């Protein structure tokens, strides 16, 4: 025997030693002959003189294979086979019937009772080894399947634990991102500001907010970072740090005037600085669109810089709707870009809405986007509604348009309402 054959023989021997065989026969002599033969082959063997005794043995010592005589008193081999197959067990129990019957009907009856194979009596040693080897292959394949199933089950459990942990982290991240919008409604002496922010996932890339400038001026903005998810949310958090503070030391949109008071920087210069910061200081492939607005709450004049963001929507007091702007390139794509400013003169009762493309690009059930005309139609349907109620109703209208399918992109908006006393 060469080395390879020795290894194969050793592996077969190891496998055999792991396999438990129960011999069931009312003939003590037949049991002893089979037991001696199987023990020499390396199997772990036990005996039972009846089907009922075999069931008792199987409860405490589940065999991998059973060699059972067909003809036995009280409980014959077929009855025992049926009862054995009904027993709960982790692995497969391979059942071989020992019988002198060889008719087709007898074989069919045995298979219907759950038998896996047959051995004719008297038992031939060569045939016995062949039948046992076939059973071993079935048992080994079943063991491998159980092992692989356990690995898959354990892996799924680990993935579930990781998913639950990530989901909890994302829930906390959503809370933190929502906290970036410090106030959803703020009433000033001559104006009101309202905000809404809905992420398509746990977290998103939209951001809306405001900062006070003076008693008569405020700044507010709407930002939409490219992409979705955690990386976009992290970028919005960083951008919030540049624009949310009332202090010029922490807000690049503010500066100190010659008299020491706080005043606003030109919006176009602020957006240009943000463009430089993204390209030079942030290691990211993300870019973003933005509208930055400075509103004079005494005169109604609002100065804006638009960088790739959807056009601002103005709803006049008489219901007339205007959507216009300079467009412009997004922030963070090209170096040295010059951004333009434009002004909108608001009259008492007018509303100015800065919204993300999650509204205009929201699809219906046929994948047709709402568009600017659809946005204007929704706003006309909401005539007379103002403040947070307007933004809430707008979201409901958008949900109806999407046929309750959910929003594929973040939805955000900042509503400025000019209401001089």
Length of the chain measured in residues: 421
pTM: 0.65
CATH match of 3-148 with 3.40.50.2300: yes
For residue 220, list its beta bridge partners: 210, 293
Please tell me the predicted confidence (pLDDT) of residue 184: 87
Look at strands 301-307 and 313-315 and give their pairing.
unpaired
All structural domains of the chain with their residue ranges:
3-148, 180-418
Q: Which residues contact 314 (CB under 8 A, 6 or more apart)?
A: 321, 322, 323, 344, 346, 350, 351, 352, 353
Please tell me the predicted confidence (pLDDT) of residue 15: 47
User: By CB neighbour count within 10 A (0-12 exposed, 13-18 middle, 19+ buried), where does 58 fall?
Assistant: buried
Calculate the CA 226 to chain-centre distance: 20
3-state helix, strand, coil in the chain (%, to 5): 40, 25, 35
Copy the structure tokens of residue 330: 């997004």
Look at strands 254-256 and 341-345 and give their pairing.
unpaired
Domain 180-418 is classified in which CATH homologous superfamily? PPM-type phosphatase domain (3.60.40.10)
Count of CB atoms situated within 10 Å of the CB of 236 = 26
For residue 293, list its beta bridge partners: 220, 304
Please tell me the predicted confidence (pLDDT) of residue 381: 94
Contact 213, 264 (CB under 8 A): yes
Please tell me the predicted confidence (pLDDT) of residue 179: 64
**pLDDT tens across the length of the chain (421 residues):** 454 444 444 444 444 447 999 999 999 999 999 999 999 999 999 999 999 999 999 999 999 999 999 889 889 989 999 999 999 888 889 999 888 776 667 677 777 878 888 888 888 888 899 989 999 998 888 888 888 888 888 888 888 888 777 667 656 656 665 666 678 899 999 999 999 988 877 667 888 999 999 999 999 999 999 877 777 888 888 888 899 888 999 999 999 998 889 999 999 999 999 999 999 988 888 999 999 999 999 999 999 999 999 999 999 999 999 999 999 999 999 998 999 999 999 999 999 999 999 999 999 988 999 999 999 999 999 999 999 999 999 999 999 998 877 788 889 999 999 999 7
Helix axes 267-281 and 230-243, enclosed angle (nearest 10): 130
């Amino acid at each position: 025997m060469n080395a390879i054959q020795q290894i194969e023989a050793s592996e077969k021997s190891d496998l055999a030693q792991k396999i438990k065989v129960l011999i069931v026969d009312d003939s003590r002599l037949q049991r002893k002959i089979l037991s001696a033969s199987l023990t020499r082959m390396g199997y772990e063997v036990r005996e039972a003189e009846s089907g009922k005794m075999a069931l008792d043995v199987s409860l405490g010592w589940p065999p991998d294979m059973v060699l059972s005589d067909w003809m036995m008193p009280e409980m014959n081999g077929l009855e025992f086979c049926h009862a054995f197959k009904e027993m709960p067990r982790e692995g497969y129990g391979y059942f071989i019937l020992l019988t002198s019957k060889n008719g087709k009907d007898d074989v069919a009856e045995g298979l219907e009772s759950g038998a896996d194979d047959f051995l004719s009596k008297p038992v031939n040693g060569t045939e016995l080894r062949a039948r046992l080897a076939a059973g071993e292959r079935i048992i080994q394949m079943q063991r491998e399947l159980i092992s692989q199933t356990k690995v898959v089950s354990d892996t799924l459990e680990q993935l579930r634990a990781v998913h639950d942990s990530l989901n909890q982290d994302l829930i906390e991240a959503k809370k933190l991102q929502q906290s970036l919008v410090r106030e959803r409604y703020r009433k000033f002496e001559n104006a009101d500001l309202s905000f809404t922010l809905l992420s398509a996932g746990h977290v998103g890339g939209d951001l809306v907010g405001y900062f006070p400038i003076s008693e008569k001026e405020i700044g507010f903005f709407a930002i939409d970072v490219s992409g979705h998810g955690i990386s976009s949310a992290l970028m919005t958090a960083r951008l919030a740090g540049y624009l949310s503070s009332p202090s010029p030391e922490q807000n690049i949109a503010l500066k100190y005037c010659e008299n020491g008071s706080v005043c606003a920087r030109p919006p176009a210069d602020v957006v240009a600085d943000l463009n430089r910061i993204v390209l030079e200081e942030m290691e990211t492939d993300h870019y973003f669109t933005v509208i930055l607005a400075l509103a004079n709450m005494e005169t109604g004049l609002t100065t804006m810089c638009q960088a790739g963001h959807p056009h601002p929507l103005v709803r006049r007091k008489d219901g007339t709707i205007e959507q216009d702007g300079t467009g412009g390139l997004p922030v963070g794509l090209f170096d040295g870009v010059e951004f333009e400013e434009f002004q909108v003169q608001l009259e008492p009762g007018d509303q100015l809405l800065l919204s993300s493309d999650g509204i205009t690009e929201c699809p219906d059930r046929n994948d047709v986007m709402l568009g600017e005309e659809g946005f204007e139609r929704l706003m006309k349907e909401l005539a007379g509604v103002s403040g947070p109620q307007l933004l809430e109703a707008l979201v409901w209208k958008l949900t109806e348009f999407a046929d309750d399918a959910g929003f594929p992109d973040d939805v955000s908006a900042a509503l400025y309402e000019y209401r001089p006393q």
